[in-house]
Amino acid sequence: MKAKLLAVVSAAAFLSACANMNIPGVRDMADEGSAFDAALHQNYADLAQAEYDEADWSDARYFTSRSKMAAMSQDTGPQMISERTLPAGTEGEVEVARSDLMAALDAGGREKAATAAARAQSSFDCWLQELEENIQQEDIDNCRSAFYQALAIVQAELDTAPAPMAAMPMPVPMNVYFGFDSAAIDTKGMSVIDGIVEAYGKYEPASISLVAYADRAGDAMYNDILAKSRVDAVVKALRDGGVPASKLAISISGEANVPVSTDDGVAEQGNRVVVVTFSDGM
């Protein structure tokens, strides 16, 4: 009886959540505002769908609402930090990041770099949401990296000085994560690849280093092979995106010197990764 009651309650909660969200309908709304609003409309719809797919009804509903507001040219800007409960020690970076974002938007970023500005704002809100959730380090890193990449592009568009591209600060390292015992790049990983390709065109780095890792579960030699398969997949994806092979410097670390320190034999998501770092050659 109790099991049936729980099933009924769960079903009711699911139906209630669905009733308050129509992500495809909101995505298809006609845009009433600027190019920035239009890009923001779709970006928030993507976030809503991602949270819906993870059964995070509250955040799916929030991002659906933000998508609808953007379509109606009623966006209210990046989310206030006070609206999220963040892990201790993360507030400082986020406050500076939001301040830099607002400065770029208010300086004309919405008009001069509409697509990148919309991605910076939606990625910032994604970063806040993932930090508050604090259970998926991969998603936190992806949203954070996407934010900094997009913001740098907006800032560069606002800078009218004829400084060479090499003088621009290189973006933060970008992480392409993989599934357990897998070298396949999933949808989230391809999103990171797309960001790397776009950043390459904007920054024109002298070189790009790719360091491949595997977690410490399993045999060390096998993990070296797995790490190589992962970096080969990233290299292929980058080359398919137009990044020349001559720019890519590859290193296989396997389970040695992993980003997240663990005991031998521990399966750790944070170590199933290829770390991509731009260098200006200086």
What are the distances in angstroms from CA 104 to CA 23, 65, 210?
Answer: 29, 24, 30
Share of the chain above pLDDT 90, in %: 60
* Beta strands at 174-177 and 273-279: parallel, antiparallel or unpaired: antiparallel
Dihedral (CA of 218, 219, 222, 228) sign: positive
230: its two tokens: 């992962």
Does position 40 have pLDDT exceeding 80, yes or no? yes
Per-residue pLDDT tens for 160-203?
444 444 445 677 788 899 999 999 998 888 888 988 888 888 88
Cα radius of gyration (the chain): 20
Fold entry, domain 172-282: 60s Ribosomal Protein L30; Chain: A; (3.30.1330)
In 3-state terms, the chain is what percent helix, strand and coil (to 5)?
60, 10, 30
Does residue 1 have a pLDDT over 60? no
3-state secondary structure of 272: coil
As a whole-number percent, the residues of the chain with pLDDT over 70 amount to: 89
- What residues have CB less than 8 Å from 269, skipping those under 6 apart? 137, 138, 177, 215
Which residues on adjacent β-strands are paired with residue 160? none
